[in-house]
Structure 1
Amino acid sequence: MLALSPRLLLPPVLLAIILFAFWRPDNVASETMALPAPVAMSDKRIAFSFDDAPRGKGAFLEPDERPRLLIEALKTAGIEQAVFFVNPGRITAYDNDAADIAAYAKAGHLLANHTAHHLKLSAVSARKFLADIDAAALWLKDKPNYRPWFRFPFLDEGQKDKAKRDAVRTGLKKRGLMNAYVTVDASDWYMEEQAIAAAGSGRTMDWNALRDLYVESYVQSADFSDDLARRTLGRAPVQMILLHETDLAAMFVDDLAAALKADGWAIVTADEAYRDSIANMEPDVDFADGTRTQMLAAERHVGKRWYQRNDQKVAKKLFAERVLRD
């Protein structure tokens, strides 16, 4: 190494340059050092939402046990803020559902509107549908952590009835409610139906296989929607995952979160998701039924819009092959 006299005082930057020019590690023969490549930051972001709270009895847990376990699982998963879309018409004086909903808010999660009675827009008038939204809003308006967001039950925005769709869109704007989009869906509600049917008929289910199917399906759906969004919008918006307040969520959401993180996803808050500009897009397509990404892709004539496991025939076959053991 170059010997420098202690009397020679050099500017620190120049001294660093000289030292770097003459220093070599003993075990490196080449004249140039290989510097590590910069690590690319992932732009894959996802938030969590749960529909149909409070939900009826599932296959495994008691109704009051589910919220407690789900809150614990969200904490374990590091999901600081999810949003629960509530159907207040299901709450009665004979259950603990109101307290369970309050527990979600107390744990830091958000509450939003899903109609009072989980109506399907294509099956009722726009007037009746908006009245049911108002009934839910009346119950929700003073609750802690309420957000003026609305999600269509069944993701049904009127299907092919554009007049009805537009009447409700106008009604939402007048009420100051945002259409709370989803982008990632793997039909957990149908997986739950299969589990309930199997339990009711005394079938044996493989718990680990059910967990793996649940987690795998949603990670695949997230990656599918990420690719679809990039092909449609030329960028990666914040994805919003659609889950339901089910036993499966309470049992497996922490495993799902861990798998998403391992796949390169950053979990963000629902507030951050709905600040993304995709939240204000209103696709004008011949159908209004499905995720925001699917409808935008249809509007822009982008192909390969449907995640395969949302086909109930495919989902039923997978459940039978992988979960049932007798």
Structure 2
Amino acid sequence: MKRWLLAVLMALLVAAQKRIALTFDDAPRARGPFLTPEERTARIIAGLRKAKVRQAAFFVVPGNLAAPDGAGGEQRVAAYVAAGHVIANHSFSHPALKSMTADAYLADIDRAGDWLKGRRGLRRWYRFPFLDEGGTDNAKRDAVRAGLAARGLSNGYVTVDGSDWNIENLAAQARRAGTSIDMDALRDLYVKTHVESAEFAERLAEKALGRQPVQVMLLHETDLAAYWIADLVAALRAKGWTIATADAAYRDPIAKLHPDTPSAQGNLLEAIAWQKGVPAPRWYERNTLSIADSLFRARVLHETQ
């Protein structure tokens, strides 16, 4: 076979692969509904090791260290790095860009950068809290994009989102209320929601890009991840997904795209689809909280209407 033809076939094969990187927001998080922060970190590290995930990324909010149970947070972040994972900037205080000026927002990023500077495993990525690039304020969005570029930071975007933070919040509410939680059903809801979200993103990428980028899954450093990250990885692999490193994901050409859409909030793949005129749905349905909440009540709490 001619060398050029082999190269083309190999490129097509790579483009068709289902590859996905795992990323976790808000580390180090406060205590959750089931575990202490230390227990959660130990379980997440063990789960990723069991699942043979070579590298995940943890987006750090240093301001969380000031929380009442924030003691030990610095050591927990270091433990993720010692286990082979990487860290990146998620702001100091987790603000919404739409609620403040660009200058104040960039100052908050710098404050987090000062804490992160010189730490092992650090990558030059920044993830917007709430995936909020400023809503419809394009001037603010562009000012922050320019500020990130001046600081050598690139967008730590996501393409796959299952709103796991909401599932955890619902579990915490049920726990506080003394409501019985079906833990097997909670596991199934957590795993299936994220697998379905990845499958949705695969289909959307074909429509918006005509190829498969290395997808980036948004998770949070939750108790649910601590319990079931290995189960989630196994379910993804059963659907044909290969777990990629975050480094590989952010080398994908999609990382250079900066869509100009009527609203800059949301994941990158959604914004690209919107810009290119891909018809709805461009948003995985369980990110609509009314749908997700109803599923949780029916499947996990076994409530009847």
**TM-score, with length taken from structure 1:** 0.86
- Asked if 1:309 corresponds to 2:286, the answer is yes
Partner of 1:87: 61
What one-letter code is carried by the residue in structure 1 that aligns with 2:170?
A: Q
Distance, in Å, in 1 between the alignment partners of 2:302 and 2:223 is 20
Partner of 2:108: 132
Higher gyration radius (CA): 1
| Structure-2 separation of matches of 1:270 and 1:70 | 17
Counterpart selection for 1:69 from 24, 43, 62 = 43
Classify 1:206/1:130 alpha carbon distance in 2 versus 1 (closer, same or farther; 3 Å). same
Alignment RMSD, CA only? 1.5
What is aligned with 1:47?
Answer: 21
List structure 1 segments (4+ residues) > 2 angstroms apart after TM superposition. 39-42
Alignment pair present for 1:186 and 2:186: no
Query: Are the counterparts in 2 of residues 204 and 325 from structure 1 also a CA contact under 8 Å?
Result: no
Query: Which stretch shifts more, 91-100 or 102-111?
Result: 91-100
> Per the alignment, in what secondary structure is the counterpart of residue 116 of structure 1?
coil
- Give the 3 Å change call, closer, same or farther, for CA 232–142 of structure 1 in structure 2: same
Superimposed CA distance per residue, residues 290-310 of structure 1 (whole angstroms, 9 cap, x where no aligned partner): 010000001011012011100
Distance 1:127 1:253, change over 3 A: same
**2: CA distance, partners of 1:258 / 1:148:** 29
* 201, 204, 211: which one aligns with 1:235: 211
SS at match of 2:37: coil
Within 5 Å, give how 1:30-179 maps onto structure 2. 43-92=17-66, 95-179=71-155
The residue number in structure 2 matching 1:204 is 180
Unaligned ranges ≥5, structure 2: 1-12
Count, aligned residues: 288
Tell me how far 1:89 sits from its aligned partner: 1.3
Contact 1:156–1:288 (Cα < 8 Å) also in 2: yes
Q: Which residue of 2 aligns with 1:4?
A: none
Q: Match for 1:140: what amino acid?
A: L
Identity across the alignment (%): 51
Rounded to whole Å, the distance in 2 between the matches of 1:132 and 1:285 is 25
Cα deviation for residue 325 of structure 1 reads 4.4
Give the aligned partner of residue 10 of structure 2.
none
Shift of 1:41: 10
Deviations along 1:210-242, whole A, 9 cap, x unmatched? 000011011100010011011001100000000
Q: Which runs of 5+ in 1 are unaligned?
A: 1-38
Residue by residue, what CA displacement relative to the aligned partner does 1:133-153 show, whole Å, maximum 9, x if unpaired?
A: 000111111110100100000
Distance 1:186 1:89 in 2: 25
Tell me if the contact between 1:53 and 1:86 (Cα under 8 Å) persists in the aligned partners: yes
TM-score (norm 2): 0.92
CA–CA separation in structure 2 for the residues paired with 1:225 and 1:104: 27
**Residues 66-122 of structure 1, C-alpha deviation per residue, up to 9 Å, x if partnerless?**
001110001011111000000011114961000000000000100000000101101
